Amino acid sequence: MGGDKTNNVKLNHTLKVIANIFHEENINDWFIFFGTLLGIVRENSCIQGDDDLDIMINCDYQQLRSAFEKKGFIFMEGKYGIKNPDTILKSEPTQEFGSFDFYFCEVDEIQNWNMYWCGHTTITTPYKDLKQKTLNTKKWRSTILNLPHNYINKIIKMYGKNWKTPSNSQSKLNIQI
């Protein structure tokens, strides 16, 4: 979201801590997305020099915020053009942790995830099993990450057919997937 570049060791550590907090708090309706998804799938690591982690989530805003504030995380207010802070929760980077964005979504009646921050955009069918609402999972660094259903196709739609080749230029995302 336009922040400072961070090394992948710090981002990997942050992602592992986030996933563990989700598991501790029994928050299951989330998945990694954008550059975080690309890095984990392509490199089994967050991307060196990325500015933050991106996570889509469907849960209670206050419950999530409280859970992370109890662990010492601080959230930005009114920065980076965030006009409606209850639709995105962006953390302040610290010495130990990189910044992360929680994009609050809702699952509508046809199982699309509507992103509040961009109301006309949908991420179709993140679940691999619609009845059970299960996401793909990936065992990663002694934790479990959630990935959306058909994530390779979603990566291709966002980053193009050459997504496996790292690029030094910032990609233009086609969020309508």
Residues 105/114, Cβ–Cβ less than 8 Å: yes
Per-residue model confidence as pLDDT tens digits over 39-94: 999 999 999 999 999 999 999 989 999 999 999 999 987 555 555 556 789 999 99
Number of domains in the chain: 1
Average pLDDT (3-24) is: 93
On the question of pLDDT at 117 being above 90, the answer is no
- Other Cβ atoms less than 10 A from the Cβ of 67: the count is 17
On whether residue 176 sits in a domain, the answer given is no
Q: What is the pLDDT of residue 53?
A: 97
Residue 151 lies in a domain: yes
Does residue 171 belong to any structural domain of this protein? no
pLDDT at 177: 42
If one counts every other C-beta atom within 10 angstroms of the C-beta of residue 105, the result is: 25
Model-wide pTM > 0.95? no
Confidence grade of residue 173 (pLDDT, cut at 50, 70, 90): low
Residue 114 is predicted with a pLDDT of 65
According to the model, what pLDDT value does residue 176 have? 45
Q: Is residue 137 part of a domain?
A: yes
**CA 104 from chain center: how many Å?**
10
Kindly state whether residue 79 falls inside one of the protein's structural domains.
yes
Give the contacts of 31 (CB within 8 A, at least 6 positions apart). 37, 55, 56, 126, 135, 145, 146, 147, 148
In this structure, is residue 147 part of a structural domain? yes
Supply the range of the domain harboring residue 130: 8-159
Question: The domain that contains 42 carries what CATH number?
Answer: 3.30.460.40
* DSSP string of 40-100, one letter each residue: HHHHSSPPTT---EEEEE-S-HHHHHHHHHHTT--B-SS-TT---TTTEEEBPP-SS---E
Residue 124 predicted with pLDDT over 90: no
In a domain, 167, yes or no: no
